[in-house]
Amino acid sequence: MKDYTGLCYTFAEAQDIMSLRPSELQHEIRTKKLKPVIYTEPRQILLFLPRESGEWVGLATCTYRGHMTVAFSTVANLLDGSSSNVGNGWGRLLDESGISHWNSAYPFQRPVPHGHLKEWRPLARDEIPLHRLCATPLPKEFTPLHDTVNDFIRQIATVYKGEEATDKALKELPEKNGLMLDFKTNSEIHPNSLRIPASEIDQYQQSLKEDKVVVSTTTNGKKENQFHTLLTRVIKHSPEIKAKHAWTLLEKDFESDEAAFDLDGIIQAISPTELEWKSRHGNTSYLKFNSFAPTLSKVRGKLKEDEKNN
């Protein structure tokens, strides 16, 4: 979350600051003009990086107290007044000072692959910037009921060992699943944990001021797509750049204190698989990496066409 300062407000405080009714504040969130976060008391967190395939590369665990982002579907449930589970969803930790008990050792008994975790690469603290790591409440390892029943049947069968019916039943017993991961027990969050970052309020109020001055920004009679404008800068810098290299360039640009390409500061978050950007009007959009190449190609084609016509 770009420009995040650590200062966040409860919904009641945000309503007073923004002079919005509860229903109006919820509307601005549901239409993604404001992006809330959640505040969590100390809980164990699993840190990882996702692959394009959806599998996870585990890195470390820690105890965390502070603010974190969560999926919009989770936010929607909280807005409806219902408690929700992060489940096997994920977000990002926002407060460096809220991290303690960092541990890069593999935390489970069953070796990888284990559930979503397909690999474990121990990560030292500060080796990768926090905003690039994905985070989810640490799942608990458990023995499924199927395995418990299986063990019980096998234990009873020892009493009647050697009997034809018993031997046949044992042969027909399905294989045990082994230890599994429970993503719900440790991941419950409540509606009163929602917060609005001060940076989100500042950007929202700034967009309202800009809307009063400029009704619409146009380029050749069409509304400007700020993300396409950003990609145009990238292409002009390196006309034949490939999608993977362009994505990496945007990641580095996002991490830089002085952006060379994202001059408008529209990128809010970027990971190896997804990018989030917000227009000057406060509209948030998401782009998966596997959709990035066609977008880059489209912008490159439009740029070549414009240069040819000029």
pLDDT, tens only, 235-291: 998 889 999 999 999 998 888 777 888 888 899 989 989 999 988 878 888 999 999
From CA 166, how far away is CA 114, in angstroms rounded?
33
Closest CA to 76 of 66, 88, 84, 68: 84
Residue 210 pLDDT grade (very low, low, confident, very high; cuts 50, 70, 90): low
**Where does 158-265 have alpha helices with state H?**
164-172, 198-213, 226-237, 243-255
**pLDDT score of 215:** 41
pLDDT, tens only, 127-157: 999 988 999 999 999 987 766 666 666 666 6
pLDDT, tens only, 83-122: 988 877 889 999 999 999 999 999 999 999 999 999 999 9
Q: Where are the domains of the chain?
A: 8-142+181-199, 144-178, 218-302
> Per DSSP, what are the bridge partners of residue 39?
67
* C-alpha Rg value of the chain to the nearest Å: 25
